[in-house]
Amino acid sequence: MYLITTSGGAKLPASALEKDFPLLVRLNRDSFDFSQAKSRGEDIRFSANGNPLAYQIERWDAAGGNAYIWVRIPTIKGNDQQAIKVHWGNDKAPSESNGEHVFLTTKGFAGVWHLGENLEDATSNNLDGFNRPDKPTTNTTGIIGDAQEFGLNKVLVIRPPGAKPDRRVTCMPSGNADRTMSAWVNPTSFEGRNWASATIGGWGEPERGQKPNMGLSYLTMTGRGQPRFHLYGFDPRCASPLPRDEWRHIALGVSGDMVRFYVDGILKKTINNNGETVSKLGTLKTPASTPVDLGDHGSGRGPFNGALDEVRFESVARSANWIKLCFENQKPLQSLVGPLVQDGNDFSVSESRLVMKEGASVALSTQAGGARKVYWVLQDGDKEEILAVDRFNYIFNANRVNENKTVALQVRAVFASGVKTRTIPISIQESIPDPVYTLNAPKKWNGRDELEISPLISNLAEMTSKGAGNLNYSWKVSGMATISEISTGTLILKRAQNSGDLTIELTLDNGGATVSRSVRISVVEPKQDAWMKRIPSADEKPVDHQFYARDDNGQGTLHYRGALKESADSVFLRLYAGEKLIDTQSQKIEATNRYALSTSLQAGLVTYRTEFGIKRDGAETILEKATDLVCGDAFIIQGQSNAEAWTDNRVVHPYRSPWLRSFG
């Protein structure tokens, strides 16, 4: 097989030269006969120019017909085609798979976690991962074999052999040393539990009792999905946010007083908290002795939500070409390494032309003797899409079309002499109907009664008969805020938050063209909603500092209810606004000794207090008092624990008010 860095492969400039690169080799039953090798690949070997190459088998799945193997390549040159040989078939050969010989610490690898069938560190630093028994990570499909799913209750602990409970190690880059951090990430959300944010991993800690001092070295995500270098300082981040639920390769490199971010092998702009371009990083102060974290910020403070694969921490600043090679080599439709080369020199395809109905499939094959790289490429007008790489057999699926159309399927093969192409014109005929439906709704709605809206589909039976009866619903409600839910193709409107025109739009498809319909509803809310009166308990009284919510009349109601433990002629309740008496209530006591008094509190920035007592034989006795009672609305602003209100001159604002409280 060949490493291709020409325009037909990974496209590295001729000046590029990378050493000791861990090459990912994917073997597939399409070009490799697993029955000829030992059951776990113990006999697999690699060489270049007659010299053996160190390798590590991440996964060998003979039954599934796939293997993922890391091979250390001494030198990779730009704009070149270089050969490596694969050897197998020796029944007596023991396995020589060893990650420590591929990911050498002397070549800059501090920690490498494939996160597949095991959680071990591939380097000799042995920063192995261990699942917490009560909160284990879970296996999921990754970019390279399996990956690990992380989250609030899915925690991985990095603990090398012999480490103390504090998990401290001294093998990570410290002080202001160069470093590279990279990973494949598939986030489901970007929210962390607090300041730590969603954490991919890292190391370091601030000095105890010190203000932010650049003591951390963590790769995290902002709430907007931007890769971030969390330093416990100004925390530079990548200007480009990532999507949710999609795999991306991200990397950051630190050198020359700068941090650089890469997404899918492409250098991105580095910005600060205010969105301004960062031109200088500052001096890092990462401690030499530190714990290492993966998928979290330690102690569950910043769990990563989603899947991680192939996480690497390195003690050198990798070049832009190195990071590009990592992405081009590891992505599913990788461009760096080709398949095992077929014998011969015939280059042909099994079909010269095809006529297909939409939704149909056809098996195709190619003979490409001597080809060093193979691509299956779909050309649809001006658009071009790579469908598969390094396959000599391919099943083409005709997508849904809006009308009859012709596309071209190309097989492009890279040979020693250059790129050759074979083209298969494919005529795709429309044969599956799209949904035909109407969307009905009342012209008026009071915004309170529950309202169900669903489409009336006239050709559902026809679509079902052709295997296209599974429909995709996409509802859109606009014009005002509403409370709604969706259930089995039905939109359920529960409440409108305003009056006016409400537009309901449904986009429906069964895998082909999308069909949209919309209706408009006039919402007229009732002038006044029925107010749910709070029912006081049988025994109730105010307590100091109590807050009372106001009702539809802008007032709160304070209750004194219960039973006296002594005899009395009557009970009284006095209400004060500050020191001013504003209301007095009294009640005669019957044989049951029970009482029920209430008074109204006007909402506002007013501090109320009460006095409750009894009157017996003309004498009054105060039994209870309650102070600092308030009524109105409470507004809660949640923010970072160390956030403060600044003036323009970055001075803490002098304003203080008893009506503003902070907690945390």
Whether 338 is covered by a domain: the verdict is no
pLDDT, mean of residues 82-95: 97
* 415/428 Cα distance (integer angstroms): 31
* 313/293 Cα distance (integer angstroms): 11
Answer yes or no: do 142 and 11 share one domain.
no
* 170/128 Cα distance (integer angstroms): 15
Whether 323 is covered by a domain: the verdict is no
Structure tokens at 434: 């799209």
Which residues lie below 8 Å from residue 259, measured CB to CB, with a gap of 6+?
229, 236, 252, 253, 270, 278, 281
Whether 336 is covered by a domain: the verdict is no
Instruction: Answer whether residue 643 shows pLDDT above 60.
Output: no
Answer yes or no: do 468 and 375 share one domain.
no
Residue 653: the pLDDT is 67
Which residues lie below 8 Å from residue 638, measured CB to CB, with a gap of 6+?
none
Answer yes or no: do 113 and 226 share one domain.
yes
Per-residue pLDDT tens digits for 521-554 = 999 999 988 888 889 999 999 999 999 999 988 8
pLDDT, mean of residues 336-342: 98
Which residues lie below 8 Å from residue 85, measured CB to CB, with a gap of 6+?
1, 46, 47, 48
Per-residue pLDDT tens digits for 480-524 = 999 999 988 999 999 999 999 999 999 999 988 899 999 999 999
State pTM to two decimals: 0.79
Answer yes or no: do 97 and 170 share one domain.
no
pLDDT, mean of residues 172-193: 92
Q: How many domains would you assign to the chain?
A: 5
Could you tell me if 340 and 374 are in contact, meaning their C-beta atoms sit under 8 angstroms apart?
no
Residue ending a domain, among 260, 293, 315, is: 315
Residue 196 pLDDT grade (very low, low, confident, very high; cuts 50, 70, 90): low
* 229/247 Cα distance (integer angstroms): 20
Answer yes or no: do 247 and 359 share one domain.
no
Return the CATH number at 494.
Answer: 2.60.40.10
H helical segments located in 546-654: none
Which domain covers residue 127, as residue numbers?
Answer: 109-315
3-class DSSP assignment, residue 431: coil
Question: What are the b/e assignments for 575-599, b being 16+ CB within 10 Å?
Answer: bbbeeeeeeeeeeebeeeeebebeb
Residue 663 pLDDT grade (very low, low, confident, very high; cuts 50, 70, 90): low
What is the DSSP annotation of 160-221? -TT--TT--BS-S--BT--EEEEEEEEES----SSTT-EEEEEEE-PPTT----S-EEEEEE
Nearest to 479 by CA among 454, 499, 508: 499
SS3 of 261-284: the string is EEECCEEECEECCCCCECCCCCCC
Residue 193: the pLDDT is 62
Return the CATH number at 126.
Answer: 2.60.120.200
* 212/353 Cα distance (integer angstroms): 66
* 224/237 Cα distance (integer angstroms): 11
CA atoms within 13 A on the CB side of 294: 35
Answer yes or no: do 135 and 276 share one domain.
yes
Residue 320: exposed, middle, or buried by beta-carbon count in 10 A (0-12, 13-18, 19+)? middle
What is the DSSP annotation of 50-116? TEE--EEEEEEETTTTEEEEEEEEEEEESS-EEE-EEE---TTPPP---HHHHS-GGGTEEEEE--S
Per-residue pLDDT tens digits for 286-323 = 999 999 999 998 767 789 999 999 999 999 999 999 99
Answer yes or no: do 553 and 644 share one domain.
yes
Residue ending a domain, among 497, 523, 549, is: 523
Answer yes or no: do 657 and 562 share one domain.
yes
Residue ending a domain, among 380, 402, 429, is: 429
Residue type at position 646: W
pLDDT, mean of residues 354-370: 96
Q: Angle CA(116)–CA(118)–CA(123) in degrees, nearest 5?
A: 95
Answer yes or no: do 194 and 308 share one domain.
yes
Answer yes or no: do 126 and 268 share one domain.
yes
